[in-house]
Structure 1
């Protein structure tokens, strides 16, 4: 037997009174999280849902998430976490595509009408049978959208014998962002998810006296699930929930709760730095470990954060299909800023060409990965699985180089590469150069259609506060600092850039 729920159950047995979750004024012990999860498992069993069934969960970073997540796992079922920004039609698609039998959905707020969207999506789906509402008002037993979880759990036992699952059984189905075609569900086994949490726990040192970990990355995403919630519960840490990232609030919460471990995407670190510099907010003194992933961090942000916060950001790399962590700048060896480090324990990486042929030396080439972290495949899509998996290797779609010490540096997503007049141009390289200009706070480079060249290079820029730099000035500066075929011919200033729920810049929208 191997069930991912062990990360909660073992900690609940060992430290029942230890604080597992902090949310607002709530401080919830491990024993309570485990008890409510057992009630959820009993509820599912009472509705005929068990081993091998799929159960969807649409919820921001609230205590409901671990309650339901681990309850589904205890029941032997598979968790299907849904992005909370999905519209009704998209929710229906995910429910149908995953063959979900039930949906636990947060009631929502005026700013996030998730209950309304979830109910409509549930009703439009073909095979989903049960809809449970997670009320916005704590412990509310009624909801306009349907059966409240608290009413459904009334009378359910807080004891449940976890269903025996095999290591290779599917624990979680994580949907990819769908940048190309419809979103696909990556099937991740109990072994995939548990091993990734265990390796992360071994890799990052614990703070003296125990860790307080900030959960601001969405828990519906693999990064937040594995590196924060699952690793946090495994090491018996306290996990501080923040449903929506706002840099000032994040800094205040870190200081209030004595956060020692922060995991975020590069734009979060950029936003906190901007807040500190603009408003003179004092950085929290408790922070011991800062990790970044999701996309490549600008070198200027890495340097500024270490100087300002006194903590170096450890960059890593992974995908939903890899549970998600594949490589990291690991604390027990020298970090190399600008790289995503070396493969984690039990994982191999290499560079390949479009025909799967191994590329020796520094590359560039596409990253391929194999190890305990690789998904079983895309749910119900054998052809799509065959396109990205061969002989245990998974091809990532990310272009990278590799130095003599085995550190990988992401050049760009293969689909983001710009081909201008026959020359390959990697946007991230240009963004790094642009970020060194004093007027540039954040940059995103994309290719736009051009009649004769195929694509032209365009830069979207957020200026530093007080800057009056013009488009022509930046283009002229870029011309002096980049090769003739690389520099952006078009610059557009923006107050903000479109981002995903996890904080990645949405380049497809910019395009």
Structure 2
């Protein structure tokens, strides 16, 4: 038996009065967090959720997230975390593709009306029978027709629950990722995948019971979910939640709560440094901060050096994907941290560089990163062909190209083909292109990432309009905004009469990026 919920349960038994989760004036102990998760588990079982059923969860960084997350796991079900910025069409797709039995959504989710519309769009006809709304006031009526407020639903549920027996190879979490083509695919991560990755991270970071994490990475993403929530709660850390990153707020929290552990994407570090130049929180923060981690995009060496100078801590970069639970490599403490490198493989994980035929490339030559180990996903939910395409002979082919130096450190030289990383969020051009192509005035479109000072990259669409169209850039941007999550839609549009192509008709996106 192995269940990811044990990451919380074990610590609740060992350190029941230790603060587990903090948000403003709300401070939950491990015992309280575990009891609340037990109530959710009882509710789900009473509602007909059975082991192996998928349960979707839309929630920002609030105590509700770990409560619902571990409650779902305790019931033996599979957590399907959804980005809170998804639109109705996208939510409906995720619910249908995962075959969700129930949908848990926070009332303050920015796109709540979209979430409700997405649920109705999927509907009970496909088996998603329950819509539970997590509200601040359990007595208030649900503002969504057909939804039940979580507060009223769990009010009579027992705070005790015997966690359902699950096997190490059973799916624990489905994380949706588009790869580089087509609709988003659900990476099935087993209990073993998630537990082993969290335990390895905990040992790697040298975590202690007295650690205090500032959690501003979205918990619906694998980075914050594994590195901070699962690993942190296993180790007895206190998670101080920040639902939306704001540099000034983050610095104030880091000083007030004596934060020892910060994980973020490069733009977050850039924001902290920019604000701290004016407010001067650095000395108080540096007195407690012992670990800083970066991932999601390449970290500029200049930012790394400034953070070390200002806060007295060396940022350590790592690498991973949703399909690898996510951590695959890291600049290990106790070893040299090489700026610009994603480090070396973590314990229990192997990495190699291969050519297009799957053969290892000669030393120092660039090649595609292939990974195998305890962290590699079970496969893509309901997509055996897509799974077979990326997992061959037990090795997961990432699509990312890197070099390996004489010390075994890996350096990314090119990301997965065409993928855009905007502010730490992965944006996949084909998904954007397929939506834009539904506009009646659009004939052809190519979407690429272009450099941006604070976001790393911005999404830009090169568009050929239909003859006679008077569609403007602003009109198309607004049209996209209504149909895509805020991190996806293109802010930049350029109309052209033609797009550069190869002799076979393939659009030369590299040329468009170079021109941009």
Quickly name the TM-score band, shorter chain normalised.
0.7 to 0.9
Matched, 1:151 2:156: no
Matched, 1:318 2:320: yes
Partner of 1:76: 76
**3-state SS of the aligned residue for 2:407?**
coil
For structure 1, the 5+ residue unaligned runs are: 418-426, 429-445, 447-454, 464-497
Distance across 1 between alignment mates of 2:323 and 2:172 = 13
Deviations 1:181-210 (A, max 9, x none): 111000000000000000001001235x61
Distance across 2 between alignment mates of 1:281 and 1:503 = 30
The within-5 A match list for 1:23-42 is 23-42=23-42
Which range moved further: 215-224 or 302-311? Answer: 302-311
Residue in structure 2 matching 1:404, options 406, 423, 428: 406
| TM-score normalised by length of structure 2 | 0.80
Q: CA deviation at 1:344?
A: 0.2
Paired residues of 1:265 and 1:504 also in contact (CA < 8 A): no
Matched, 1:367 2:360: no
Distance across 1 between alignment mates of 2:176 and 2:487 = 17
| TM-score normalised by length of structure 1 | 0.81
Paired residues of 1:267 and 1:503 also in contact (CA < 8 A): no
Matched, 1:166 2:167: yes
Q: CA deviation at 1:151?
A: 1.0
Distance across 2 between alignment mates of 1:59 and 1:502 = 16
Distance across 2 between alignment mates of 1:360 and 1:233 = 42
Q: CA deviation at 1:113?
A: 3.2
Partner of 2:395: 393
Partner of 2:187: 186
Partner of 1:118: 115
Q: CA deviation at 1:461?
A: 4.7
Residue in structure 2 matching 1:462, options 438, 453, 465: 453
Distance across 2 between alignment mates of 1:340 and 1:363 = 17
**3-state SS of the aligned residue for 1:356?**
coil
For structure 2, the 5+ residue unaligned runs are: 422-428, 430-445, 455-480, 495-512
Cα gap change, 1:352/1:158 in structure 2, threshold over 3 Å: closer, same or farther? same
Distance across 2 between alignment mates of 1:170 and 1:415 = 28
Paired residues of 1:318 and 1:325 also in contact (CA < 8 A): yes
Distance across 2 between alignment mates of 1:252 and 1:3 = 36
Q: CA deviation at 1:342?
A: 0.3
Q: CA deviation at 1:381?
A: 0.4
Matched, 1:20 2:20: yes
Partner of 2:91: 91
Cα gap change, 1:173/1:461 in structure 2, threshold over 3 Å: closer, same or farther? closer
Matched, 1:269 2:269: yes
Paired residues of 2:367 and 2:401 also in contact (CA < 8 A): yes
Paired residues of 2:3 and 2:168 also in contact (CA < 8 A): yes
**Root mean square deviation, CA, Å:** 2.6
Distance across 1 between alignment mates of 2:211 and 2:486 = 23
Partner of 2:200: 199
**3-state SS of the aligned residue for 1:335?**
coil
Cα gap change, 1:292/1:99 in structure 2, threshold over 3 Å: closer, same or farther? same
Q: CA deviation at 1:460?
A: 3.7
Paired residues of 1:401 and 1:408 also in contact (CA < 8 A): yes
**3-state SS of the aligned residue for 2:375?**
coil
Paired residues of 1:369 and 1:396 also in contact (CA < 8 A): yes
Residue in structure 2 matching 1:353, options 344, 352, 355: 355
Q: Once superposed, which parts of structure 1, at least 4 consecutive aligned residues long, lie more than 4 Å away? A: 278-281, 500-511
Cα gap change, 1:508/1:79 in structure 2, threshold over 3 Å: closer, same or farther? farther
Deviations 1:437-468 (A, max 9, x none): xxxxxxxxx9xxxxxxxx9x9964539xxxxx
Distance across 2 between alignment mates of 1:183 and 1:509 = 24
Q: CA deviation at 1:415?
A: 1.1
Partner of 1:494: none
Cα gap change, 1:459/1:280 in structure 2, threshold over 3 Å: closer, same or farther? farther
Distance across 1 between alignment mates of 2:408 and 2:21 = 38
